[in-house]
Structure 1
Amino acid sequence: MTARRSGLRRNSLSLFFGALFVAALVGQAISGVALFNEEQRSAGLDPIGIGEYVTTSAFAVDVTENWQSEFLQFLLFVGATVFFLQRGSPESKPLDDPGRESDEKQKVAEFSTADSPAWARVRGWRLSLYSRSLSLVMGTIFVLSWLTQSVTGAVAYSEQQMHDLQDPVTWSQYLLLPDFWSRTLQNWQSEFLAVAAMVVLSIYLRERGSPESKPVGTPHAATGVEG
């Protein structure tokens, strides 16, 4: 196996989902501009090209309302699994091991190894920051995505208002409108349902070879065991 093929195989999971993301985003842009132009024609307005469409607030709000919910999902999942447990689920830590865990188990500071990340080998603010870096980055992306959704949503809503010969709204006014919360909560509820379903279904169901599943023959009550 060549070095290139070996590298592709070692990173195939991220490449697979990266390719799916790009394909889905392109598909969303193509179908979105088609729908947008249908509405333009019905209103007696000129259609636009896909290049112009992807710079519109209509496209941006549709994209970011999904992004914020996805990153919120993983932010809450990462944080919740530190303290909350689920008997029988591979998504949960063992029932006798809630919390942040000991330095020895986490292999930090004096318990680190030669190949541990540099910030895991020293105490102080760097270790504290690195110990929470995943949730901090997820949280930052969530906040920025949600903020972008609110801003572009306010612009898109105001454009529709003016098209209907009504007054536009400010950003702060938009945050109180049903349109903003409907867009937000319709995504949140689906994300929370998906996580809850994964946690519970993985207690009783199996997927051979997947690290997200317990080994096929593992008892239902086994907790924190991955395939």
Structure 2
Amino acid sequence: MESDKDQKVGAYADDRSPSWAAVGGLRTTLFSWSLTLVMAAVFLFSWLAQSIAGRVAFNETRLGRLQDPLTWTQYVTSADFWSRSLQNWQSEFLAVGSMAVLAIYLRQRGSPESKPVGEANDATGIEG
């Protein structure tokens, strides 16, 4: 991880730095890891939504065959769920696109894909 000076946080923040980079404490820590936190939440939410929608579709097919429906837990541990998940993960356009857009406003301390935590939002081409 780079130093606070390299990341322009806390006492090293300048006038153009986002306010959360300058205040220090928990808010700066959250802002420093905001890209990871948001991307993890997006991933978990999309996986949850996929499991719910997949279970509904899977159970509709099972009911059409006069088979008992599966609970959510049973579906999440089934081969059908994992097969669908792995097929979706092959398509990374959403992940790459959202990473590019979110990296403009969110920061990841020490990441070469992110600008320094205290750098202004409109700064481009600056590596952290």
Flag structure 2 segments of 5+ consecutive residues without an equivalent.
Answer: 97-126
3-state SS, counterpart of residue 121 of structure 1? helix
1:116 maps onto 2:116 in alignment? no
The sequence identity of aligned pairs, in percent, is 55
Q: Aligned residue for 1:132?
A: 33
1:166 deviates by 1.2
Per the TM alignment, residue 189 of structure 1 is displaced from its structure 2 partner at its CA by 4.5
Structure with higher RCO (Cα < 8 A, 6+ apart): 2
CA distance in 2 between counterparts of 1:164 and 1:176 reads 21
- 1:71-98 Cα distance to aligned partner (Å, 9 max, x none): xxxxxxxxxxxxxxxxxxxxxxxxxxxx
Letter in 1 for 2:14: T
One-letter code aligned to 1:123: G
Q: Give the drift of 1:173.
A: 0.4
Structure 1 ranges of 4+ moved more than 4 A: none
Quote the Cα distance in structure 1 between the aligned partners of 2:14 and 2:87. Answer: 45
Distance apart, 1:187 and its partner CA: 2.8
Partner residue of 2:52? 151
Ranges in structure 1 where 5+ consecutive residues have no aligned partner: 1-99, 196-225
Q: Per-residue CA shift, 1:160-208, capped at 9, x if unaligned?
A: 10011111111000011111000111233454xxx8xxxxxxxxxxxxx
Query: Aligned partners of 1:153 and 1:187: how far apart in 2?
Result: 12
Alpha-carbon displacement from aligned partner over 1:72-126 (angstroms, at most 9, x marks no partner)? xxxxxxxxxxxxxxxxxxxxxxxxxxxx211111111111110100010021100
RMSD of the TM alignment (CA)? 2.0
CA drift of 1:141 comes to 1.0
What TM-score does the superposition give when structure 2 sets the normalisation length?
0.68
- Supply the AA of the counterpart residue of 1:177: S
- The alignment's TM-score, normalised by the length of structure 1, stands at 0.39
Question: Hey, what's the Cα distance between the residues in 2 that align with 1:106 and 1:178?
Answer: 45
Alignment equivalent of 1:163, drawn from 64, 69, 80 = 64
Paired letter, 1:137 = V
- The one-letter amino acid of 1:139's match is A
The aligned length equals 95
Q: Which residue of 2 aligns with 1:142?
A: 43
